[in-house]
């Protein structure tokens, strides 16, 4: 009887040990599973972080290509300063994009003050695509722009300036062209006699000396005391073609210019120029 009691006591101790071990191991399993679940996964990089749609970046920085345009991008696109317009059906970022913060990290419950120089500007692809805001350390693109324009702390797109249209004189023939004739000046002056042998009126003008004037058909006029270089323009008022013949007159310092009708468009002339050396060219 005493032997059976001893065996029962041993079995009871063994059973208690096994049960105690099981009870101790039960809390460990959920903790291991919980630890695996709490391991943070690598956040996805948001190509269109909401920093581009917040001030001051909303009105200062271009969004990456393919992102919905912010206010600054829309202004640049409207002025034609962008090589390609970011494609977007909706000008506002999607809710999934707004929920992601800078670099794709989920926003914290206690958000600190807005970082004017977020690190996304120094990571690819933004490091070589976007100019950093003014006052931030330059990234690769900003350094390249500063190298091209060393006197500027930041390159800002500027609308191309349009120069006002300058009045143009009739083009002068190339210097290598053979002059039609030459004229000897008298005291540095020359007189030009225009002879209109056509039946149409001819409008003529001495560039820089006279306003446009009309010379009736079968008439002539003399322009006196002109100083070289001289450019005279002329055309028929009826739109016809002119055959122009310049030749020195028997009178010293006088050049006669005769207008005749022609149907050969290659012979049509609209301007005469006298160089300071006395050479006479037609154009």
The per-residue pLDDT for range 79-133, each reduced to its tens digit, is 766 654 444 444 455 555 544 444 444 444 444 556 778 888 888 878 887 887 8
Highest mean pLDDT among 7-16, 84-93, 208-217 belongs to: 208-217
* Cβ(228)–Cβ(191) below 8 Å: no
Residue 6 burial (CB count, 10 A): 10
pTM, two decimals, is 0.41
Backbone dihedral region of 23: left (phi > 0), alpha (psi from -120 to 50 degrees) or beta? Answer: alpha
Domain spanning 181-282, CATH architecture:
Sandwich (2.60)
Domain-wise residue ranges, the chain:
50-106+116-148, 181-282
Average pLDDT, the chain: 76
Which residue bears the tokens 């105690």?
Answer: 20
The per-residue pLDDT for range 120-141, each reduced to its tens digit, is 888 887 888 788 787 788 888 8
* Cβ(91)–Cβ(69) below 8 Å: yes
Q: Provide CB contacts within 8 A for 211, sequence distance 6+.
A: 205
Cis status of the peptide bond prior to 229, with omega within 30 of 0: yes
């Amino acid at each position: 009887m005493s032997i059976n009691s001893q065996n029962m006591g041993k079995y009871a101790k063994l059973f208690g040990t096994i049960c105690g071990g099981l009870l101790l191991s039960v809390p460990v399993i959920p903790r291991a599973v919980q630890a695996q679940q709490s391991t943070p996964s690598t956040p996805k990089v948001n190509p269109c972080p909401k920093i581009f749609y917040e001030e001051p970046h909303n009105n200062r920085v271009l969004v990456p290509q393919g992102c919905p345009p912010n206010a600054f991008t829309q202004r640049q696109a409207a002025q034609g300063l962008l090589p390609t317009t970011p494609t977007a059906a909706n000008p506002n970022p999607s809710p999934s994009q707004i929920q992601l913060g800078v670099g794709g990290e989920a926003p914290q419950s206690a958000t600190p003050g807005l970082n004017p120089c977020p690190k996304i500007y120094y990571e690819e692809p933004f490091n070589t695509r976007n100019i950093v805001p003014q006052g931030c350390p330059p990234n690769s693109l900003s350094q390249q722009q500063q190298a091209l324009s060393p006197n500027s702390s930041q390159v800002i797109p500027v609308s191309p300036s349009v120069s006002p249209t300058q009045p143009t004189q009739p083009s002068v023939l190339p210097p290598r062209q053979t002059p039609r004739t030459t004229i000897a000046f008298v005291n540095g002056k020359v007189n030009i006699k225009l002879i209109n042998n056509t039946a149409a009126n001819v409008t003529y003008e001495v560039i820089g000396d006279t306003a446009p004037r009309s010379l009736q058909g079968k008439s002539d006029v003399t322009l006196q005391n002109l100083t070289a270089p001289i450019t005279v323009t002329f055309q028929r008022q009826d739109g016809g073609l002119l055959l122009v013949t310049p030749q020195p007159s028997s009178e010293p310092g006088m050049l006669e210019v005769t207008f005749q009708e022609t149907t050969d468009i290659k012979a049509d002339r609209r301007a005469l120029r006298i160089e300071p050396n006395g050479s006479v060219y037609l154009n």
